[in-house]
Amino acid sequence: MLSKDQTLGKYQIIDRLGAGGFGSVYLAQDRLLNRKVALKIPHHQADEQGLLLEPRIMAALKHPNIVELITVEKKDDTFFMVLEYVDGESLDKLIRRERCLAPGRALEIGMDVCAAIGFAHGRQVIHRDLRPANILITREGVAKVTDFGTSRFLEMQRDGFARTRIGSPPYMAPEHFRGRAVFQSDLWSLGITMYEMLTGTVPFYDADPIKIAQSFQNTPVVPPHLRNAAVPRTLSEVVMKALAINLGDRYLSAQEFLKALQGLKEGMTRETRPVGTAILAAHLNTPGQGQRVPANTQQRLCRFCYRPLPRMAVTCPACGEKNPT
């Protein structure tokens, strides 16, 4: 574990951003270029070929909705990845704070993530661990997918699926539990993520992954609009199609899923706004259950939490952030 102000080559550690089963991520200052970056340091440093799997995948993924890999380095016998630093927060933290997101905001995030996944799939990369903790939201409201540590190049001319069951059970598709993850499995994970944004919870959760898999097979998922009356039925139906058990009933590709999401957005009002503060149609801009924004009424939204701002307010009463006037 690295400590504050410790140096690793030209990088000076500022803070620890998080840790998982595969490694730790630190905020650091590039002292030569005078910019902040994120350093991802794997826990297990012995397998050099294994360490290169994730950066080789990320090197092929240059997209505005995917966290950028800057380079890989090895200093003081420590291998690490240098990544774009996203000045914002993870989607799971946003959901925990807000409990559930306004449907319009969930739709925007879903579109960003779907575009990223479609780009990755076009380069034969399957993510396999898509969930709110691996989606970062910038201060401008842009969603960026990160953590490709469990990703693989899916060679369709061979088996056509990834055999291992690596992933996060509440977000794993039924076929993923069976060790047969395909590109559509990522779409299921995005569907679960959108479900959680809209309702504040995943459809099923249990400490035993087998029970989660059995629940999806044996118990119908309650549609989002029945859990949260603020969710439009049309949006609920799109999410539910992503959660179809049979692959033939699910979206066949990320492009098809994205097209469905874009179709919903086209039903919004035509008023525009700066990135991260759009004015949405009333039925898609509901902050929570029972709180509706009057139709065709333009209202300022906080650029950080997307709650309505009181007239002439600078500081958001919901999240405490200052908004430009």
Tell me which of 15, 30, 47, 129 is the catalytic residue.
Answer: 129
The CA distance from 11 to 150, in Å, is 26
Q: Which residue bears the tokens 């600078």?
A: 314
In the chain, where do the E strands start and end? 7-8, 11-19, 23-30, 35-42, 69-75, 78-84, 88-90, 125-126, 135-138, 143-145, 152-153
Catalytic status, residue 112: no
Q: What are the angstrom distances between the C-alpha of 323 and each of 100, 130, 257, 304, 307?
A: 22, 31, 33, 8, 12
Length of the chain: 325
The CA distance from 54 to 179, in Å, is 20
CB 282 within 8 A of CB 292: yes
79 phi, psi to nearest 5 deg: -85, 135
CB 243 within 8 A of CB 221: yes
- Cβ burial 151-160 (10 Å sphere, 16+ → b, else e): bbebeeeeee
- Cβ burial 262-284 (10 Å sphere, 16+ → b, else e): eebbeebbeeeeeebbbbbbbbb
The number of angstroms, rounded, from the C-alpha of 40 to the middle of its chain's C-alpha atoms is 18
The CA distance from 41 to 51, in Å, is 10
Count of C-beta atoms within a 10 Å radius of residue 1: 8
- Rounded to 10°, the helix 103-122/254-265 angle is 150
Catalytic annotation, residues: 129
